[in-house]
Amino acid sequence: MSGYLVGVDYDDPIIKYRGDRILYTLKKVTGKEANIDQNFLIDTYYVHYLPLPLLKPKSDLAQSDMIKYSLLDMTLSSDLVIRNRNYSIANSAVSMALSVSYVQNLIEELERIRRTSQSAEEREAAEQILNGLMKGNSSKEGSGEKQEQQTQQSQAANKLLKQVHEKALSKASEDANSVRSMQRIVGGNGAGTGSVLNFEGDIHEVLRLARNTEIKKILEFLSGIPKLGSLTKKKTTKYAKGELYGYEEGSDLERLVPSELAMPEELFYVRLAESQLLLYQKEIKESLGPIYLLLDKSGSMDGEKILWAKAVALALYSRARRENRDFYLRFFDNIPYPLIKVVKNAKSKDVIKMIEYIGKIRGGGGTDISRSVISACEDVKEGHVKGVSEVVILTDGEDKIAETTVRRSLKDSNSTLISVMIRGDNADLRRISDTYLVVYKLDQNDLLKVVEA
């Protein structure tokens, strides 16, 4: 049998591509070849991706198809899957994550039981289920007695099937939630952005990140901020050939509302002379400069502080992406670390690399705020970054600032400084900053206060 879903053409090149991608991703995340029936992999993807997937009638199946069919049937009737449909339908990255993670966890759990279970019956049941998932299983022939013995699902096998299915599906849902959060944070699943960055091609890397404890904590924190996905800043200027946004009175004939031409000629010229003609208000959007973030990773920042600061970094990147701006990030302690640059039209692998880098950073070292700000100003002056006018620094540092030198660097680079003090205060930094914020709770409200600034 080709597959188990109604309306899916398993010979279609795009459908086959999905199966190939899942096999490839499974190999990447497990480090070994998977001999799983490819049509079953296709079905595990489309039960999440399609709006209304339907299974073929059970009467059409051979006995050897029942293991795969039962798993798909349990998936379709799962409350967890039904809840996930709010964001898995037509979302290729999330559907791919659900499929890959589910099959991986299913196989790993079955192999663990087969290898370590104290019950011979349970080990045999795990072996039986694994064989039922293998490529070519449904096409094998044999003697009636032997085939029945191999494929007959015992009560123990049915019980184990349900147990491993629920465990694998639960883990897959956790992974998919992290992938969804990552999409949302970097602007990859909002209106007009889904086709730009959906992570499908790098899903093995995304899954690896989603399972990173540090990244998982950051994503869970950010996923609880519904407003985060709508934070944007818009800079506009009036322009005669721009976009209509309202009406005003004036004498600019180029923006004249056509209905004004219907009035008597004498009255028209009186209103023209007095600038009382009804005009269209028009404006054009101006591009905003990049966001440049300096993030303190000194020893005093370790723990809750740096975790919150990392969440701010991802939230600021999320805003930069929605506003079509480049994003620059530099960690520092007593020395500045390499500059991370993510351009406005970055590919998913570049975004993944940045998130991975953020997850790896740990608190440690001293604090040199002056050196970090000067290094940012030098980046601007020397052309390593372009269009930056605002430098944001997140620190808890009680550090003596070289005020004169830092002021000169900011002036020479034509930059303004926005300082965010994390549970601390610095009088020197307060004096040289254009904007100075202090946060204490390190909760979601504090994060929004910084991102909106």
Crossing angle of the two packed helices 155-185 and 79-88, in degrees rounded to 10:
30
Q: How many CB atoms lie within 10 A of CB 396?
A: 21
Is 8 within the bounds of a domain? no
* Predicted confidence (pLDDT) per residue in 185-243, tens digit: 776 444 444 444 567 778 889 899 888 999 999 988 988 887 776 656 665 567 667 77
* Predicted confidence (pLDDT) per residue in 374-423, tens digit: 999 999 988 888 888 789 999 998 889 999 999 999 999 999 999 999 99
Provide CB contacts within 8 A for 89, sequence distance 6+. Answer: 48, 49, 50, 51
- Rounded to 5 degrees, what are φ and ψ at 354? -65, -45
* Predicted confidence (pLDDT) per residue in 166-190, tens digit: 999 999 999 999 888 888 877 644 4
Is 55 within the bounds of a domain? yes
Say whether both 127 and 39 belong to one domain. yes
* Predicted confidence (pLDDT) per residue in 230-265, tens digit: 656 665 567 667 778 788 898 988 888 999 999 999
What is the model's pLDDT at position 150?
A: 46
Is 248 within the bounds of a domain? yes
Number of H helices, E strands in the chain: 17, 8
Say whether both 275 and 298 belong to one domain. no
Task: Give percent helix, percent strand, percent coil of the chain, each to the nearest 5.
Answer: 55, 15, 30
What is the model's pLDDT at position 404?
A: 94
Say whether both 204 and 261 belong to one domain. no
Say whether both 276 and 302 belong to one domain. no
Say whether both 278 and 162 belong to one domain. no
Say whether both 276 and 318 belong to one domain. no
Is 21 within the bounds of a domain? yes
Q: Average pLDDT in the 46-74 region?
A: 90
Domain range for 426: 291-452
121 three-state secondary structure: helix
Say whether both 57 and 175 belong to one domain. yes
Say whether both 240 and 318 belong to one domain. no
Is 2 within the bounds of a domain? no
Q: How many CB atoms lie within 10 A of CB 174?
A: 15
* Percentage of the residues of the chain whose pLDDT score is greater than 90: 56
* Domain total in the chain: 3
Q: Average pLDDT in the 427-440 region?
A: 94
Say whether both 414 and 272 belong to one domain. no
Is 259 within the bounds of a domain? yes
Instruction: Identify the CA nearest to 433 among candidates 399, 406, 405.
Output: 406
Is 323 within the bounds of a domain? yes
* d(C-alpha 410, C-alpha 397), whole Å: 19
Q: Average pLDDT in the 119-141 region?
A: 78
Examine the fold and report which residue of 211, 244, 272 is the final residue of a domain before the chain moves on. 211
What is the model's pLDDT at position 155?
A: 77
Say whether both 68 and 99 belong to one domain. yes
Say whether both 318 and 282 belong to one domain. no
Say whether both 264 and 323 belong to one domain. no
What is the model's pLDDT at position 169?
A: 96
Q: What is the pTM of this model?
A: 0.80
What CATH number corresponds to the domain at position 344? 3.40.50.410
* Beta partners for residue 329, in sequence order: 293, 340
